[in-house]
Amino acid sequence: MTAALAGPGDDLIDRLVGVRSSKPTYYAEWRRKAVSLEHAVQALHAVTTSLSVTSGGPHAVCDRLVEALVDHLGGVAAGIWFVPGRERTGVLRTTTFRTGQGRRRVDLQELAPQARQAAARVVETGGPVLGSGSLSDRLAGGRVLAVPMEYAGGVIGVLFVEWVEGDPGPELDDLVLCALGQHIAVMVENACLYRENADRSSQLRRAGRDLARARRDRLLIAERHRIARELHDNVAQYLVGIGMDLEWCRRHCAPAPPGVVPRITRAKSMTHTALTQIRGAVRELSSTPGGRPDLAAALRGMAVEVCSLRDVACHVTIRGECAEVERDVADALYHIAQEALFNVVRHAEADQTWVSLAVDATGIRLSIADNGQGDARLVRRFITERQRSPGCVGLANIAARCREAGGQLRVLARRGGGIRLTVTIKPPADGSCRRD
């Protein structure tokens, strides 16, 4: 039997199985080696099973490994320490597991001096080190076996196994423990690579989404600019021509039948209003989306321009940091105020109007009030019933923009006459007024 086993690996086979003769005197040695091999297979199985947590990252793998080592090697504690400065594993902390105390992640300095000295000798010599002591100072009179964890021709860490002095210790010899150390090193490196690849894949997905968004934004900007050019070069020019013709008619129609001149004047005013809206749309379409507009300046300019159509005095009050308002919300507030002021100018028969915008930690509040002849109950009915008659399309647009901005719309009668329209937008969960 010995001749059949002879070969270059004969010494290794003898160390693993202990079979050198068929004499009965070697039966006890054979039994000891059989138990050792059984433990080795169980330990390898436990270590291999830890591959199932590779997706959880290197720390999850280390946690599972140290528990498996303690369970199957018969020790009271186990630990995995990684040499600092390595490309992937150098940032991992030492993972230890002690029976009855659970897992801990510590730095090398928190280990007992004997364990630190053993780790230094393993890194220096590249071989196993057996010494007295423990992984921590909590246990006196223990024994620690430290074996190297090798990867790509170098020692990347140290595997510790601790047991109480006097116990038989792990039923494995240093050769099998070194093989376990190399196996564990490969597993942890693979876990690190898996985490790196997952992070890079996530970055690539985010970059892909950003590129797709940028491509859509570029197409959107080009289309906005095209529409703005069409409005400016065609619709706006026609409105200018209509206004000039109406002015010519007003000057040359005297004497004219009763009611003609007021109608011409009103038509010219409506043409001017339409031209103002077209120019505002052109400015908005020509602007590049993504930045934060100057909402305060835009509201002031628009209010003065609209109210000048009927010589209505306009008072604008701005409080708070309007620059913190997100662009979509700012656009909605601007158009709500514009539509409300146009309604005041056209229908309310008012000579005073008040625009107020407040931005603070409690949210955003926009208010448009007038001293005209409007009926708040009728306006509320138009909004709630969402009628689509020519006289309430603007109110329906106001309500729709308010809903899209996540706000609440209220229409109340104003003291002293007129209507007060209020839009309130609460801040998001983080307490800011920005809606990113």
| Per-residue confidence (pLDDT) for residue 378, from 0 to 100 | 86
Chain Cα centroid distance, residue 412: 41
Question: Could you report the per-residue pLDDT of 281-333, keeping only the tens digit for each?
Answer: 777 776 655 555 578 888 888 888 788 777 889 999 999 887 778 877 888 89
Gap between the Cα atoms of 423 and 368, Å rounded: 9
Higher model confidence: residue 323 or residue 205? 205
Per-residue model confidence (pLDDT) at position 28: 66
With CA atoms as reference, report the closest residue to 262 among 274, 246, 273, 277. 246
CA angle 139, 146, 103 (to 5 degrees): 55
Token pair, residue 376, equals 């708040």
pLDDT in tens, 234-261: 787 777 778 788 878 877 776 777 777 7
pLDDT for position 286: 64
CATH of span 292-436:
3.30.565.10
What is the structure's pLDDT at 431? Answer: 47
Nearest-10 Cα torsion for 165, 168, 170, 173: 110
Only one residue has tokens 């270059």, namely: 8
pLDDT(392) > 70: no
Q: Where are the domains of the chain?
A: 2-199, 292-436
The pLDDT value given to residue 354:
94
Bigger pLDDT: 115 vs 136: 115
Q: What pLDDT does 434 receive?
A: 42
pLDDT attached to residue 112: 78
Looking at the domain that runs over 2-199, which CATH code has it been given? 3.30.450.40
Higher pLDDT: 200 or 34? It is: 200
Judge whether 240 and 275 are in contact, CB under 8 Å.
yes
Q: Which two tokens stand for residue 287?
A: 């602007």
Q: The whole model's pTM is what?
A: 0.44
DSSP 216-245: HHHHHHHHHHHHHHHIIIIIHHHHHHHHHH
pLDDT band at 3 (very low <50, low <70, confident <90, very high): very low
Measuring CA to CA, how many Å separate 396 from each of 269, 383, 386, 392, 420? 24, 6, 6, 6, 16
pLDDT of residue 15: 53
Residue 396 vs residue 352, higher pLDDT: 352
Closest CA to 62 of 96, 85, 33, 108: 96
Task: Give the pLDDT score at 69.
Answer: 75
Both tokens of 292, joined, read 């934060």
For residue 22, is pLDDT > 90?
A: no
Contact 99, 70 (CB under 8 A): yes
Q: Per mean pLDDT, which range of 28-42, 74-88, 175-189 is the poorest?
A: 28-42
User: For the residues 86-100, what does the mean pLDDT come to?
Assistant: 77
* Amino acid sitting at position 391: G
| DSSP letter for each residue of 171-222 | SS-HHHHHHHHHHHHHHHHHHHHHHHHHHHHHHHHHHHHHHHHHHHHHHHHH
Q: What is residue 410's predicted lDDT score, i.e. its pLDDT? A: 92
Question: Tell me: the pLDDT tens digits for 137-166?
Answer: 554 557 788 888 888 888 888 888 887 765
Residue with tokens 């070697």: 26
Q: Of all residues in the chain, what percent carry a pLDDT higher than 90?
A: 8
